[in-house]
Amino acid sequence: MASGKSSLRPGREARGATSRRVERSESASFAPGDTASLRLRLLGAFALQSDGVPVRLPPAVRRVLAFVALHERTLERTYVAGSLWLDSSDERAHANLRSALWRLRRHGRELIDGAGSSLELGGEVAIDLHESRRLAREVLAGAEPPADISTHIAALAVDVLPDWYEDWVMFERERHRQLRLRALEALCEQLAAADRTDEALETGLAAVAGEPLRESAYRAIVRVHIAVGNVGEAVRVYRLYRQLLLEQLGTEPSPLMEALIEGLHVRDEHR
């Protein structure tokens, strides 16, 4: 069948298809029907919209807004200032934070509630990362896949602020990356069980694009092909992954992957 011919070459077709799908709809990661007037985008790139109009913020202000949004909880001002301005004195760090918050308030919207000694995100701000986390947890909890999975894939296919390299961003990026990849693999399995093969393969490819050496994503795709009788495609995916592992890491697939292929009675000389 046509779905069995999808390319799995990491970093090219699979990753390119995923990125193009996300680029076509910057708001795809928000909940369908969401009417929030303030939208903060942290997946793929930083962006803020107010009533659909892009809002430009200075770098220091973007950092404060992103830091508070990533943590999803009330934060002490001292913690925020000390984390964002590590090389500054306490006095200078707090001054920088006050300046950033003042600039935020100039927009006339309550982006951050800064009452007292703590900070938290304003309740009227919709954040794509929070929606992505919610969808991922629903999938992992076994929620039935929706009729249209495009929103799920778009929400789970992109990293948090990939061009930001500060430690606090990289930690949250890796935490969300593991969550979203596990959710994509689980969604792939759920769709396959529902005989939605094309969508299962698309979801599995999104997981592979997120991490080209992640074996569990390849195993999910192999299982989809086996389930519909595409033995040749299952073996091809196995061979591609095995070659990639040998080239990149000098190692072999795990016994879990080998067990899938051994069940197809594929002899070593044909691998």
User: Among 216, 146, 148, 212, which residue's Cα sits nearest to residue 184?
Assistant: 216
Other C-beta atoms lying within 10 Å of the C-beta of residue 249:
9
| Rounded-to-integer distance, Cα 31 and Cα 131, Å | 7
Other C-beta atoms lying within 10 Å of the C-beta of residue 89:
9
| Rounded-to-integer distance, Cα 242 and Cα 263, Å | 17
Cα diameter, the chain: 70
Which tens digits make up the pLDDT trace of 46-83?
999 988 899 999 999 999 999 999 998 899 999 999 99
| Rounded-to-integer distance, Cα 41 and Cα 129, Å | 7
Angle 165-169-171 from CA coordinates, rounded to 5°: 110
Angle 137-139-141 from CA coordinates, rounded to 5°: 70
CATH number for region 38-123: 1.10.10.10
CATH number for region 2-29+128-270: 1.25.40.10
Which tens digits make up the pLDDT trace of 108-152?
667 898 878 899 988 788 999 999 999 999 999 999 999 999 999
* 83: its two tokens: 């984390």
Among 22-26, 157-161, 163-167, 200-204, the range scoring the smallest mean pLDDT is 22-26
* 47 Ramachandran zone, left/alpha/beta (phi>0; psi -120 to 50): beta
User: Among 210, 228, 22, which residue's Cα sits nearest to residue 128?
Assistant: 22
Q: For residue 195, give Cα distances in angstroms to 141, 189, 190, 230.
A: 20, 10, 9, 14
At 69, which helix (H) or strand (E)? helix 59-71
Which tens digits make up the pLDDT trace of 155-176?
999 999 999 999 999 999 999 9
Q: Which segments within 74-201 are labelled E, that is strand?
A: 75-76, 112-113, 118-121, 125-127
User: Among 14, 44, 15, which residue's Cα sits nearest to residue 29?
Assistant: 44
For 250, how many CA atoms within 13 A lie in the half-sphere containing its CB? 0
Strand partners, 229: none
Domain residue limits, the chain = 2-29+128-270, 38-123
pTM comes to 0.81
**Residue 35 in this model has a pLDDT that exceeds 80:** no
Residue that has been written with the tokens 């995100």 in this structure = 121
Residue that has been written with the tokens 């934070």 in this structure = 97
Rounded average pLDDT over 250-269: 80
- Return the pLDDT at 219: 96
Indicate the pairing of strand 125-127 with strand 38-41. parallel
- Return the pLDDT at 266: 53
User: Among 236, 232, 230, 238, which residue's Cα sits nearest to residue 259?
Assistant: 238
At 91, which helix (H) or strand (E)? helix 90-105
Rounded average pLDDT over 5-14: 42
